[in-house]
Structure 1
């Protein structure tokens, strides 16, 4: 099986390099992917960069040239709910764009890009298998909607505005819906696992640097363990 693991930032990728050894580097699009062989699986680990365009460009470049079977998207997110706390894990059930406002352009809902689904649902056998792994290993996680936009959310005002349109969203970040849109068009299963680094409010900027590396490593350790046990 060919597996892609993509994270936005270097501090979120460090753990994978410590865990997987003797990889060689290949360039896809504008980013370098490190290629490892793990339990007879080909694993491609790369940085997407930050934001929707970088995420879409680099995943599409990889999928255009390599017949990837499964995409893992991991990294950090900010909390949108009081029940979602720092260091919690969110297994995304769907992604949407919180900064897409096209209701005046036709019969569209908030978050929908014309010609695209209102939500990018991630239902797949691969995702179900991963969820069963989390449960078997007694790893605490929540499941739900994560929303994506090109702005870092660092105030209560920003949070409240997002929640007006996406009241049930658990987390907010800057790449997930773009990954999901690309995976949807390439017909590839996507597993999105985000770890909460901040509360998306006025304390987010200070919290992020402190927690991003810690929670990124937490998510990475789980994914690495899962891949090592895959048949």
Structure 2
């Protein structure tokens, strides 16, 4: 199988690089991917960059050149729910854009882009298999909606606006819905595992620097262990 692993930032890719050791580097579009072989699977590890455009552009560049079978995205997110704490793992069940406001343009709901679904649901055999793996390994995780936008959410005011529009959202980040939209159009299964690095409030900036590397490595370690068991 050919498997893509996409993360937004270098600190979120450190664990993968240390675990997989050296690999061949290849350019796809403007993005450098490292190519590894793990358990007879071809692994393409790349940094998407931060934000929706970077995420969509860099994943699309890979998918147009390589017949990828499965996409994993990992990284961090900020909590939007009192039941979601720093260090928690989220196996995302759907993504939506919290900064898409098109209800005045037609019969659209908040977060929906015209011509696209209101939510990008990640319902695939591959995601279900990964969920079974986490359960079998007794890894605690939560499932639900995560929302995406081109802003680092670091204030209670920002958080209140988002939760008013998306009361069921568990977390917020800056790339996931763009990954999901691209994966949908390329008909590729996406498995998204986000780790909570902050509470998305007035302490988020301080919390992010402290926790991002730690929780990102936790998510990455689970992906690596899973890949080593895949046939």
Distance 2:225 2:4 in 1: 15
The aligned counterpart of 1:205 is: 205
RMSD: 0.4
Scaled by the length of structure 1, the TM-score of the pair is: 0.99
Q: How does 1:122-133 map onto structure 2 within 5 Å?
A: 122-133=122-133
How far off is 1:30 after superposition? 1.4
What is residue 166 of structure 2 aligned with on the other side? 166
Q: CA deviation at 1:21?
A: 1.9
Query: CA offset at residue 119 of structure 1?
Result: 0.5
Aligned residue runs from structure 1 range 147-166, under 5 A: 147-166=147-166
Q: Tell me the distance in 2 between the aligned counterparts of 1:169 and 1:178.
A: 17
1:120 aligns to what? Answer: 120
Aligned to 2:179: 179
Alignment of structure 1 residues 22-101 onto 2, 5 Å? 22-101=22-101
Q: What secondary structure sits across from 2:64 in the alignment?
A: helix
| Runs of 5+ unmatched residues, structure 1 | none
Aligned to 2:143: 143
Q: Deviations over 1:140-160 (max 9, x none)?
A: 000000000000000111111
Deviation at 1:75, TM superposition (A): 0.1
Q: Return structure 1 stretches of 4+ with deviation > 3 angstroms.
A: none
User: 2: distance between equivalents of 1:52 and 1:199?
Assistant: 21
**Distance in 1 between the 2:228 and 2:158 partners?**
40
Equivalent residue, structure 1, for 2:191: 191
Distance 2:29 2:214 in 1: 28
Q: Secondary structure at the match of 1:18?
A: helix
Quick one: distance in 2 between partners of 1:147 and 1:199? 14
Match of 2:106 in 1: 106
TM-score by length of 2: 0.99
3-state secondary structure, aligned to 2:25: strand
